[in-house]
Amino acid sequence: MITLDGISLTSDLLWIDEYAWTPVAQQVDIMSDGAVAVQEDAQLTGRLITLIGGDTFGYVKKSVVDLVKAKADTPGLQMTLVLNDGRSFNVVFTGDRYNANPVADNSDPDADFYYTLSLYLMVLE
CB under 8 Å to 71, separation ≥6 — which residues? 4, 5, 7, 77, 79, 93
- Are β-strands 79-82 and 24-30 bridged in parallel, bridged antiparallel, or unpaired? unpaired
Residue spans of the domains in the chain: they are 3-123
Q: Is the pLDDT of residue 11 over 90?
A: yes
pLDDT in tens, 48-75: 999 999 999 999 999 999 999 999 999 9
Neighbour count for residue 93 (Cβ, 10 Å): 22
pLDDT in tens, 69-119: 999 999 999 999 999 999 999 999 999 999 999 999 989 999 999 999 999
- Give the model's pLDDT for residue 41: 82
- Give the model's pLDDT for residue 40: 83
Topology of domain 3-123 in CATH is: Elongation Factor Tu (Ef-tu); domain 3 (2.40.30)
Separation in Å, CA 68 to CA 22, 74, 109: 28, 10, 17
Q: Is the pLDDT of residue 8 over 80?
A: yes
pLDDT in tens, 18-41: 999 888 778 899 999 999 988 888
Helix locations, 1-125, DSSP H: 62-72
pLDDT grade for 14, boundaries at 50, 70 and 90: very high
